[in-house]
Amino acid sequence: MAEKPSVLIIGGLGYIGRWLAYYIHKNDLASEVRIVDKVLPQLAWLPPEFEEACSGSKFVQADASREQSLPRIFDRPDGKTWDYVFNCGGETRYSQEDEVYRLRSLGLSLNIGREAAKRGVKCFVELSTGMVYKPDSQPSKEGDKLKPWSKIAVFKLQAEEELSKIEGLNLVIVRLPHVYGPYASQWVATALCMARVYKALESEMKWLWTKDLRTNTAHIHDVVRALWAVADWYDAKGKANWDESSMGKIPIFNVVDHGCTTQGTLADIIGEIFGIETGFQGQLISTFAKLNLDSVVDDVNDELLGPWSDLLEEAGITKPGPLTPFMEKELLKDTDLSMDGSRLEQVVGFEYERPQMTKELIEEVIESYKKMNWWP
């Protein structure tokens, strides 16, 4: 077992963290894994297949944003250091106060980053977001202009910058688009819940802005494979093909599928699955919405939340899990999330197994909700 790396996953019960733990467990990639989260497994809506990978002796409850938690998080009985640390932690809810992100995202990243450097961790992988890029007509590459457009992205970018300055930290930064897949509870989940309500109301699902608005995606299956691939590339393969003079000192990788997903992509798939009309609001309403986003979002939420709870009640679902059609206005910006992922493929040699969003992959998401009895 000696040659397999030991792995510490911070935020290991979050959506990406649990799938990463599951991937490592299923493929027997590590000599030891520790999952750290401030939430207990019993309260994390864990589907049954994650039990073995995420709970029991592998799990440590701790809040990584607090300095006094660090010994509990990092200390091992044999006194050795963890080889790979994946930071999947941080605040993932939208529209929180700045202070929440400062403490739970930025503070958390720096806390564990400094500790990882102090303890000589071989590779520290920081998860960030593609929302840090300044939108452009071309998909953004890793070295392109930055202009974060969500609060999460503002503090993720600060974390990237501060971590880059930590002496002796073996850092890799991974920037993600919208991540979807079985049990997903954000973005694609919201759209699916909305579609379910529109189907029940027998009305058309209309989207703001245009069908060409880019909302790039990556399937969770490929995201966790990519996270493992970059850690292995950094440590075992000695950063092969990395050219510091042209690419910079800190390796940064976009993980994004080949589908160039847009609002239109998802609208078409949803229309087909639910048998509902989907369309776009057009210039006039979109312009009005831009100026009055708060009230437009409030109206949509008022319109959908009642019927959604009726649907749950009719289906006898008393514990609906994390699903809701509630629309976050931060996610409703008329801003392109458009990324170029070619560096990961060229430098690391990574290949996508779910290269684009399909009807089948979205049906698989809905099936996962049914399995958990979350879906009316």
User: What pLDDT, in 10s, does the model give residues 264-299?
Assistant: 999 999 999 999 999 888 777 778 877 888 888 888
Tokens (6 digits) for 258: 């080949």
Considering the domain architecture, whether residues 161 and 21 belong to the same structural domain is answered as yes
Where residue 207 falls among pLDDT bands split at 50, 70, 90? confident
Let me know if residue 62 belongs to a domain.
yes
Q: What is the pLDDT, as a whole number, of residue 2?
A: 55
Site of tokens 């397999």: 4
Question: Does residue 372 form part of some domain?
Answer: no
Banded model confidence at residue 1, pLDDT cuts 50, 70, 90 = very low
Q: Is residue 293 domain-shared with residue 233, that is, in the same domain?
A: no
Check whether residue 13 and residue 32 sit in a common domain. Answer: yes
Give the list of residues 6+ apart from residue 292 with CB closer than 8 angstroms, or none: none
Identify the three-state secondary structure at position 177: coil
pLDDT tier at 98 (50, 70, 90 boundaries)? confident
Q: What percent of the chain has pLDDT over 90?
A: 82
Measure the CA angle with vertex 160, ends 236 and 110; round to 5°.
90
pLDDT at 321 over 80: yes
> Is residue 31 domain-shared with residue 174, that is, in the same domain?
yes
Same domain assignment for residues 100 and 59: yes
110 and 154 share one domain: yes
> Angle 171-176-181 (CA atoms, 0-180°, nearest 5)?
125
**Domain at 48, CATH number:** 3.40.50.720
- Tell me, what's the pLDDT at 44? 92
For residue 160, what pLDDT is reported? 97
Q: Which structural domain, as residue segments, surrounds residue 305?
A: 188-212+262-331
Q: 340 pLDDT exceeds 60? A: yes
User: 230 and 290 in one domain?
Assistant: no
Note whether 321 and 374 are within 8 A (CB). Answer: yes
At 61 the pLDDT is 97
> Does residue 367 form part of some domain?
no
Which among 350, 182, 322 is positioned nearest to 255, based on CA atoms? Answer: 350
- Supply the pLDDT for residue 293: 82
Same domain, 23 and 116: yes
pLDDT at 371: 96
In a domain, residue 360? The reply is no
pLDDT above 70 covers what percent of the chain?
Answer: 99
| 83 Ramachandran zone, left/alpha/beta (phi>0; psi -120 to 50) | alpha
Cα(68)–Cα(293) distance, integer angstroms: 41
The total number of structural domains in the chain stands at: 2
Alpha-carbon torsion 132, 135, 140, 142, what sign? negative
- Compute the distance between CA of residue 30 and CA of residue 115 in angstroms, rounded to an integer: 21
77 burial level (CB within 10 Å; 0-12, 13-18, 19+): exposed
Let me know if residue 361 belongs to a domain. no
Q: Which residue has the higher pLDDT, 337 or 293?
A: 337
pLDDT at 209 (0 to 100) = 87
CA 298, 300, 306, 309 dihedral sign is negative
Average pLDDT, the chain: 94
Residue range 175-195, pLDDT digits in tens: 999 999 999 999 999 999 999
Cα–Cα distance measured from residue 267 to residue 168, given in angstroms and rounded to the nearest whole number: 46
Q: How far apart are CA 163 and CA 65, in angstroms?
A: 15
Tell me, yes or no, whether 252 and 267 share the same domain. Answer: no
In a domain, 243, yes or no: yes
Which residue in 75, 60, 76, 57 sits closest to 13, CA to CA? 60
The C-alpha atoms of residue 305 and residue 84 are separated, in whole angstroms, by 42
Specify whether 56 is located in the same domain as 93: yes
pLDDT of 294 reads 85
Same-domain check for residues 129 and 198? no
Is residue 132 pLDDT above 70, yes or no? yes
Which pTM value belongs to this model? 0.96
1 belongs to a structural domain: no
Please indicate, yes or no, whether residues 53 and 66 belong to a single structural domain of this protein. Answer: yes
Can you give the pLDDT at residue 102?
Answer: 81
Q: How many CB atoms lie within 10 A of CB 294?
A: 8
Q: Domain for residue 156, yes or no?
A: yes
- pLDDT tens-digit map of 48-84: 999 999 988 999 999 999 999 999 999 999 999 999 9
Residue 97: pLDDT above 90? no
